[in-house]
Every structure is written in structure tokens, then in C-alpha cells.
Chains A and B, each alone.
Chain A
Amino acid sequence: DGGITQSPKYLFRKEGQNVTLSCEQNLNHDAMYWYRQDPGQGLRLIYYSQIVNDFQKGDIAEGYSVSREKKESFPLTVTSAQKNPTAFYLCASSQDGRNTDTQYFGPGTRLTVL
């Protein structure tokens, strides 16, 4: 899991609540990513950021929001607009966002909606 930390490891949310997942990296990487993993499916990209104060939507951005105020941090907010948020969320980072770069992943946060 390298120098990428995610917290909390487990998170429980009531319907209608917003929750924020933390992702921090000490690898001095420029690019950071958020993925969602559902059972039997591969990872799907939610948002990514190649530089501070800039980010782009991925394939499934609806119901999620992000910020990139610092190079080391890329928090993800799961809003009440996300209809089915129960999933395993993975954060990743890469050196500078080139498509040949290796992405390195954090340990993940498992979100459950009660």
C-alpha cells in the first residue's frame, strides 16, 4: 500500500447523510484518483486530479464531490445524491498523470449505508 493512507477503514452512513473519505499520500505524486469497487466488477473511476486545484470527472462522478487544495490530499465526499453508495472505495496516486505511469493504491475504505 506504500505511502498512501485512507481513513477510516470502515464507515457507516445513514441514508441522507454526506460523508467524507480521506486520502493522503507522501509520495510527492502530482496525480491522484478515486475508484469505486463493487463485488464482481472491476474498479470504476470516480474523479481524478493531475494538479492542485484541478480535477476532472471520471465515469461515475454523479453523487460525489472532491477537492484538491493540497498536493498530498484528495478527499472524496459521498453525497446524499449518490443512490447506491455502499461499496469499497480506493484512492490511488501516480507520479504525474501520464498514461504510462503506474498508479499506486491505498488500503481502501469500505462504506456501508444503513
Chain B
Amino acid sequence: GAVVSQHPSWVICKSGTSVKIECRSLDFQATTMFWYRQFPKQSLMLMATSNEGSKATYEQGVEKDKFLINHASLTLSTLTVTSAHPEDSSFYICSATSTSSDTQYFGPGTRLTVL
């Protein structure tokens, strides 16, 4: 199956700092990438949808100025958590689809802990 990577796999930062998470599709071109968040013992919740070369579409309740998404190429999307707070601590997972498929392939996730 298709391979999606994420970097870093985990990060610990101080409150008020910004953290960037990268998501890459390694063996296919991802026209669309998605960012999800998963709190402990809960399911994945979609945060935003990002299409290459255009602005991301955010789900209701997700602050676009806090969670900056950039999809600069067909293989890379980045999520920047700005001015992180402890309540932003979570597991952030990206996924990607190719041009015509509904199947989303997930990256391994990034565990963010904000102190």
C-alpha cells in the first residue's frame, strides 16, 4: 500500500512556542492531505483538509490561525501549531489520498506534549 511518513514522531515543547509537523507521501502524489487529532481513548477527529496549492479547509471549531497548514507540493503538507498550550497536547495524524481514490493512507502520527 501507499506509504505516508510524518516527522517528528514525538515532540515536547514549552507553552507559547510553535511546533511544525511534516507529512509526506513517499511513493505517490497526494492531491489531498488531511490532518486529524486524536485525544486519549477517543477516535480520530478531522481538523482540516489541505489541497496542494490552495488554502486549507478547516472543520468547525478548529482555529485556522492557530493550526497553520501549508500544502506546498504534491508530496508534502505541514501543520504548525502556533503558541501551543497544554490543551493542544494530543496525537496528530495526517493522511493522504491520490487523485481518484477514497482510501486514505495514514502517517504514523506525531505525539505532541506541551508543558
- Is B one of A's binding partners? no
Binding site for B on A (CB under 8 A): none
